[in-house]
């Protein structure tokens, strides 16, 4: 079974910045001749995560607010003390969301729901370039 790997990047603002990457994943899939299989999307870095959501402003805000309530920035994080930085909450949020997502596809189409988009959430405390990998396996 062939495996195709595509590396992508995006500019992020940090602080729960959420980006819809569905079209980039679809584009990577259309660049292959694979009809059916799975696509795995993996963000490199320990302060960002990937999932699906209905990508509309209200839902994006609600997700961000939920992370703010669950893992507040102003708590005591030992990571801050050890490394002298301010992103302990970013690491915890990313660990809870997870760094990857696998989506099946057939006939060259992702099998996502009507209101389901693939998002990358950057939890770090500063703007940065985020790198992620789209890996396609199938036949």
Q: How confident is the model at residue 76 (pLDDT cuts 50, 70, 90)?
A: confident
132 burial (CB, 10 Å; 0-12 / 13-18 / 19+) is: buried
Residue-level pLDDT at 81: 78
pTM of the model: 0.95
Owning domain of residue 32: 3-138
Query: Tokens at residue 120, please?
Result: 């990358």
Domain of residue 74, CATH code: 2.60.120.460
Q: How many domains does the chain have?
A: 1
Q: Of 28, 76, 20, which is closest to residue 52 (Cα–Cα)?
A: 20
pLDDT at 82 over 80: no
Cβ–Cβ < 8 Å for 139, 1:
yes
Q: Of 133, 138, 139, 111, which is closest to residue 42 (Cα–Cα)?
A: 133
């Amino acid at each position: 079974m062939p495996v195709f790997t595509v590396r992508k990047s995006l500019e992020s603002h940090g602080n729960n910045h959420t980006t819809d990457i569905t079209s980039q994943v679809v584009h990577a899939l259309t660049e292959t001749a694979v009809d059916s299989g799975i696509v795995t999307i993996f963000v490199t870095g320990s302060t960002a995560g990937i999932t699906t959501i209905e990508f509309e402003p209200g839902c994006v805000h609600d997700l961000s607010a939920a992370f703010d309530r669950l893992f507040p920035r102003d708590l005591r994080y030992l990571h801050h003390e050890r490394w002298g930085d301010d992103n302990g909450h970013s690491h915890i949020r990313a660990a809870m969301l997870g760094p990857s997502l696998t989506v099946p596809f057939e006939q060259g189409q992702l099998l996502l729901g009507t209101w389901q988009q693939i998002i990358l959430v950057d939890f770090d405390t500063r703007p940065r370039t985020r790198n992620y990998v789209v890996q396609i396996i199938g036949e």
